[in-house]
Amino acid sequence: MEVFEIRTHRRNEMIDITEEIRAYVHKKRVKSGILVLYVPHTTAAITINEHADPSVRVDIAEHLSKLVPKSPEFKHLEGNSDAHIKSTLVSPSISLIIEDGDIVLGTWQGIFFCEFDGPRHRKLFAKVIREE
């Protein structure tokens, strides 16, 4: 297992980590298998979406904040229930196919670490499962 350290800079942001993840898979020299990415935080997540146009990730982050705004009505004492809800909606983990030594993504797809309660120092766990 590999542990990636991620430094976030804003309360809500989506950080493109595609190339770091691709480099990790290449380093593992896996011809075929599965890559599991897991975020061990309750106010962050991981997703796959368009990375050709950076405005898409801005739109996603902004509209998630509109869908689930910060609110004094939440019961959680830390005041970050909106971040917990967003991380649940997006997901703490994804699985990707590895084929011919590389992750399989669509033409416009990238991998994003999603911060909903930053800025913070975060971790991302990565595990490759080789096909036998």
Which residue is listed with tokens 């990790």? Answer: 24
70 pairs with which residues across the strands? none
SS3 88: helix
pLDDT tens digits, 25-58: 999 999 999 999 999 999 999 999 999 999 999 9
pLDDT tens digits, 88-130: 999 999 999 999 999 999 999 999 999 999 999 999 999 999 9
Which residue is listed with tokens 């897991």? Answer: 38
Torsion of CA 104, 107, 109, 110, to 10 degrees: 70
Domains of the chain: 2-130 (2.60.120.460)
